[in-house]
Amino acid sequence: MRIIVSGGGTGGHIYPAMALIKRLKERNLIEDVLYVGTEKGLESKIVKNAGLNFKTIEIQGFKRRLTLENAKTIKLFLSSIRKSRKIIKEFKPDVVIGTGGYVSSAIVYAAHTMHIPTVIHEQNTIAGVTNKFLAHFVDKIAIAFTEATDQFSEKKKIVFTGNPRAQEVIDIKKNDRLKEFDLAPDKDTVMIFGGSRGAKPINQATIDTMDKFVAANYQILFVTGRVHYDNVVKLIDDKYLKSANVSVLPYIDNMPEILPDIKLIVGRSGATSIAEITALGIPAIFIPSPYVTHDHQTKNAMSVAKVNAAKVIAESELTSEKLFNEINQIMSDETLQKSMSDNSKKIGVPDAADRLIKVLTDLVNK
């Protein structure tokens, strides 16, 4: 199967695409793959580092208010369709899939006009603008949350697949990576993580709770985000930094590898994080980012919380006291931990990549 994949802007669009490609290769289902993105986007670095065939188009997203910049956006969209058609003619794909971000709009739409099977994958409970536009033209709409169904009028096209990232982490086994961070590999561990760039409110609440964390009967892996690390370290008393119960890091490479060693995760509720967490059945306390489009992180978090697999703290209500109480309640109750873990696994989709691959192969073989 020859496949074109496109998605960009954020890791939430790129990592599911990369997980899909990885699984296609593992199953020997892929003859060739081409990733289409933008030169300036995050996908450029990630895809190139993975050694994949990568081509770029120039395109940008619409502004949410009337502006002359939108005239340029329309011009770029039309020219990117022309370039996309050329890319498609040269590569001759059997199927084209878009995983979100405005970069995917041109290549998926162009494929539709050329009568090539097309699929979009929506990772969030609230569909992005690009996927809502493309939904009118594609053959299938793959979703990762059942709540996303109401975001599309083309119900017959919808297939629930989950997020391919889930399948990428499901086979990772418990290991001793905690030793790398000067923590005990056999002690219950809470990871507090505000995303790759970190989250200042989460960091501050954690700093303010250090005196309680160092005395807890569980240990804390506190990942600040690279841009916040130096300042966070300055704000933490040295005696807490030297505690065997706390490890403070700017970032963890290959983050999924450490997840099986984590008893509780505290952090944002992006679609990729939730896919990984529920695949492994890790209890979570979500503090959704209020700054994302349509507040979709809150909707994501609530979809997990409603089955009692996670708790949710609004960032506006986050305090050191509330953070500690919520963490302590879960960490001091093994029955609650098991219940949350079991509930999390029930909504996890450990075969998500294979489900999405079936959508693709069914279209190709139709």
Q: Is 10 annotated as a binding residue?
A: yes
> Smallest Cα–Cα separation from 345: which of 269, 280, 248?
280
Q: Is 252 annotated as a binding residue?
A: yes
Q: Is 196 annotated as a binding residue?
A: yes
Q: Which residues contact 339 (CB under 8 A, 6 or more apart)?
A: 308
Cα-Cα-Cα-Cα torsion 35, 361, 344, 188, nearest 10 degrees, comes to -50
| Structure-block tokens of residue 120 | 């979009």
Q: Which residues contact 114 (CB under 8 A, 6 or more apart)?
A: 85, 88, 89
Alpha-carbon gap, residue 238 to 1, rounded angstroms: 57
Q: Is 163 annotated as a binding residue?
A: no
| Per-residue DSSP letter, 237 | -
Q: Provide the residue count of the chain.
A: 366
Q: Is 316 annotated as a binding residue?
A: no
Q: Is 8 annotated as a binding residue?
A: no
Q: Which residues contact 24 (CB under 8 A, 6 or more apart)?
A: 1, 3, 30, 33, 357
101 and 12 Cβ atoms separated by less than 8 Å: no
Q: Which residues contact 117 (CB under 8 A, 6 or more apart)?
A: 94, 95, 96, 111, 139, 360, 363, 364, 366
Q: Which residue type sits at 238?
A: D
175 and 205 Cβ atoms separated by less than 8 Å: no
Residues in binding site: 10-12, 124, 196, 252, 297
Residues in binding site for UDP-N-acetyl-alpha-D-glucosamine: 10-12, 124, 196, 252, 297
